[in-house]
């Protein structure tokens, strides 16, 4: 399908003051959705990953802001070794952590490592990203109401609403991609090479921050290469920024591999395609049942589908009336097609991650959906009476805004359950740093922790580094008991359950202190289970 792109419209009644209206709407929606949770510690869905990235910011804050040596609070890493190897330090490989580095600088500036610093910076990145999405959509559709509709759909996506003031780097990386695509579309329409350079710089930085965004980088470069081969544009002055970006990306990947090989990593660094067709069917069914209406609400699914159908019919009729296509260049619909193809390849390569990690949708299909939606809106039939068109667009926007916003708001509430394991754990470990201080436990002491989730979350609350045991596999427990830890900390509930279900797992520990929700242990040479 080939979507044409409406050129930047001359100022009309609907466009005048559009920037102020868009900025006001973006800020209002963001604050209304995010403000109740701005100081919330990592918990609920995907607290594990969020606590890991939060701890990297804390690591920079504590290690003198050493950008090339990201670290968390854990000595035994998940990869390789599945928590059974003591790497001797807390360094970890990670996608280029410039986002977390800036957060660490802000923590230093504000004199606080509280969650609001991290969430606040991510929220600012999200606001910038949504503003750029509005500008991109207005450039594509030619009208302010249509551009606002695309932005509204993005901001009230239940998935995006959950993460846009969180701890994951996918949101700031997404904002950079949006800005990069805007710069490329501006270059495509105005032929000013400085926007090509800006686009490649932004897309390259996004790829450094989130390797999955390499698809967006390759899609833009691939589309431009196709235009060069068709002699629609020249190649000179374009290859230098691409080469610089590729060298930077390749150089950091090499360094990251070095970190993983020598220090281990908490982050997946390999492809995980499906093992067979049966697993493909299972994952697709799981995504459909669990995530479909988190990616976009049911109303948003219907809206996007309806616009795509109407735009497709309109384009078919238009092509019948104007059969001659000779002399026309490639439209941005070709960019969308290349982009979708790349994301489908990424989806296959990482399919097993999509089962339990909804945020992978933000790394892949989220922006291509919005880009295609904007192209479809720009291809809708034009109404001759411009005033009536503007009135209809504004009315549609008003009627859709309320239900979309309410769905996002309720989704944020529904994702927060007081029985959630990560939330309960964060409550149990609240004030654990002061409690350990009162027990005479040094801030440099190494702590072995059993069954605290998320792992880094417990150590952040304790203000100490250590070892984490999340599974009761015999070899993991055996290795953990050989780690050079100074103390063991466990939740009282987890300790009681362990004595019942795994009575020999804690052999060799002696409880030396018991608080309301936590207990402190040391090694016991008598090798008997404490009471």
Tell me the pLDDT tens digit for each residue of 407-435: 999 999 999 998 999 999 999 999 999 99
Last residue of a domain, one of 354, 384, 414: 414
**pTM of the full predicted structure?**
0.93
Residue 320 has pLDDT above 90, yes or no: no
Torsions phi, psi for 97 (to 5 deg): -90, 45
- ∠ CA(154), CA(362), CA(196), 5° rounding? 85
* C-alpha separations of 117 from 40, 216, 483, 484 in Å: 11, 29, 34, 34
* Phi then psi dihedrals of residue 271, to 5 deg: -80, 145
Beta strands in 180-222 (DSSP E): none
Tell me, yes or no, whether 34 lies in a domain: yes
- Check whether 505 has a pLDDT greater than 90: no
**Secondary structure class of 448 (helix, strand, coil):** strand
How long, in residues, is the chain?
531
pLDDT at 177 over 70: yes
Domain's final residue, options 373, 395, 414: 414
Clarify whether residues 184 and 296 are in a common domain: yes
Q: Has residue 95 been placed in a domain?
A: no
Domain boundary among 359, 393, 414: 414
Within a domain: residue 53? no
Q: Which H/E stretch holds residue 138? A: helix 115-141
Tell me the average pLDDT across 264-275.
94
Q: Are residues 441 and 483 in the same domain?
A: yes
Same domain, 195 and 286: yes
Q: What does the pLDDT read at residue 297?
A: 96
Q: Domain range for residue 237?
A: 18-39+114-414
403 in a domain, yes or no? yes
Residue 359, pLDDT > 90, answer yes
In a domain, 10, yes or no: no
DSSP-assigned letter for residue 164: T
For residues 442 and 370, membership in a common domain is answered with: no
Same domain, 251 and 177: yes
CB-based contacts of 325: which residues, under 8 Å, 6+ apart?
Answer: 319
Convert the pLDDT of each residue in 187-215 to its tens digit: 999 989 999 999 999 999 999 999 999 99
Together in a domain, 354 and 408: yes
Quick one: DSSP state of residue 502? -
- 154 CB contacts (<8 Å, ≥6 apart)? 130, 133, 160, 366, 370
Q: Quick check: 4 pLDDT over 50?
A: no
Model pLDDT, residue 498: 86
Q: Is the pLDDT of residue 525 over 70?
A: no
- The rounded mean pLDDT for the chain is 91
Work out the average pLDDT over 487-501. Answer: 91
* Pairwise pLDDT comparison (178 vs 381), residue with the higher score: 178
Which of these, 415, 434, 404, lies nearest to 40 by C-alpha position? 415
Residues 409 and 432 in one domain: no
Whether 444 and 353 map to the same domain: the answer is: no
DSSP assignment letter at 466: E
Examine residue 330 and state whether it is found in any structural domain, yes or no: yes
The answer to whether residues 367 and 270 belong to one domain is yes
| Strand order across the beta sheet in which 447-450 lies | 466-469, 447-450, 487-491, 518-523, 509-514
- In a domain, residue 280? The reply is yes
Query: Domain check: are 448 and 396 in the same one?
Result: no
**Minimal CA–CA distance to 143: which of 396, 333, 369?**
396
Answer yes or no: is 356 within a domain: yes
Pairing of strands 518-523, 509-514: antiparallel
Q: Are residues 370 and 509 in the same domain?
A: no
Judged against a pLDDT cut of 80, whether residue 310 lies above it is answered with yes
Strand partners, 488: 448, 521
Pairwise CA distance, residues 70 & 87, whole Å: 14
Q: What is the pLDDT of residue 473?
A: 84
528 pLDDT above the threshold of 60? no
The answer to whether residue 17 scores a pLDDT higher than 50 is no
Confidence of residue 12 (pLDDT cuts 50, 70, 90): very low
Residues 398 and 503 in one domain: no
Give CA–CA dist 521/500, Å, rounded.
18
Query: Cis ω on the peptide bond leading into residue 80 (within 30° of 0)?
Result: yes
What is the spatial distance between Cα 145 and Cα 62, in angstroms, rounded to a whole number?
47
**What domain count does the chain have?**
2
Task: Fill in the DSSP letter of residue 445.
Answer: -
Question: Which segment of 87-91, 117-121, 157-161, 378-382 scores lowest on mean pLDDT?
Answer: 378-382
To the nearest whole percent, how much of the chain has pLDDT over 70?
Answer: 93
Which neighbouring-strand residues pair with 448? 467, 488
What's residue 385's pLDDT?
A: 64
Phi, psi dihedral angles at 487 (to 5 degrees):
-145, 160
């Amino acid at each position: 399908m080939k979507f044409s792109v409406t050129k930047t419209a001359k100022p009309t009644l609907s466009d005048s003051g559009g920037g102020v209206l868009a900025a006001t709407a973006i800020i209002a929606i963001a604050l209304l959705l995010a403000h109740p949770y701005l100081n919330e510690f990592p918990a609920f869905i995907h607290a594990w990953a969020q606590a890991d990235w939060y701890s990297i910011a804390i690591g920079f804050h504590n290690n003198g802001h050493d950008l090339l040596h990201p670290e968390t609070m854990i000595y035994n890493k998940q990869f390789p070794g599945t928590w059974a190897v003591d790497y001797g330090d807390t360094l970890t490989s990670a996608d280029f952590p410039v986002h977390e580095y800036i957060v660490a600088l802000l923590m230093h500036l504000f004199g606080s490592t509280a969650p609001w610093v991290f969430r606040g910076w991510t929220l600012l990145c999200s606001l910038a990203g949504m503003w750029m999405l509005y500008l991109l959509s207005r450039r594509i559709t030619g009208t302010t109401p249509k551009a606002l509709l695309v932005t509204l759909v993005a901001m009230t996506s239940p998935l995006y609403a959950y993460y846009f003031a969180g701890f994951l780097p996918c949101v700031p990386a997404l904002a950079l991609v949006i800005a990069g695509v805007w710069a490329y579309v501006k270059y495509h329409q105005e032929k000013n090479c400085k926007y090509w350079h800006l686009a490649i710089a932004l897309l390259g930085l996004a790829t450094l921050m989130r390797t999955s965004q390499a698809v967006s980088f390759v899609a833009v470069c691939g589309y431009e290469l196709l235009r060069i081969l068709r002699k629609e544009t020249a190649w000179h002055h374009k290859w230098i920024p691409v080469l610089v970006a590729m060298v930077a990306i390749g150089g950091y990947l090499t360094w990251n591999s070095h970190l993983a090989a020598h220090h281990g990593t908490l982050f997946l660094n390999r492809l995980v395609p499906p093992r067979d067709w049966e697993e493909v069917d299972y994952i697709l069914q799981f995504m459909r049942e669990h995530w479909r209406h988190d990616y976009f609400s049911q109303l948003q699914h219907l809206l996007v589908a309806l616009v795509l159908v109407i735009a497709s019919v309109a384009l078919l009729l238009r092509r019948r009336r104007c059969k001659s296509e000779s002399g026309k260049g490639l439209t941005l619909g070709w960019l969308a097609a290349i982009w979708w193809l790349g994301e489908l390849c990424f989806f296959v390569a990482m399919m097993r991650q999509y089962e339990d990690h909804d945020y992978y949708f933000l790394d892949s299909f989220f922006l291509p959906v919005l880009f295609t939606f904007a192209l479809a809106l720009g291809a809708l039939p034009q109404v001759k009476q411009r005033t009536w068109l503007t009135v209809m667009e504004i009315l549609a926007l008003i009627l859709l805004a309320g239900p979309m916003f309410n769905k996002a708001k309720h989704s944020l509430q529904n994702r927060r359950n007081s029985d959630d394991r990560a939330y309960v754990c964060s409550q149990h470990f609240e004030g654990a740093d002061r409690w350990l201080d009162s027990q005479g436990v040094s801030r440099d002491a190494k702590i072995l922790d059993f069954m605290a989730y998320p792992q880094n979350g417990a150590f952040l609350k304790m203000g100490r580094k250590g070892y984490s045991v999340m599974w009761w596999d015999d070899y993991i427990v055996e290795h953990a008991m050989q780690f050079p830890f100074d103390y063991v900390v466990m939740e009282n509930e987890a300790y009681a359950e362990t004595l019942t279900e795994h009575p020999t797992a804690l052999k060799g520990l002696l409880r030396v202190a018991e608080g309301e929700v936590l207990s402190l242990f040391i090694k016991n040479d008598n090798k008997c289970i404490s009471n």
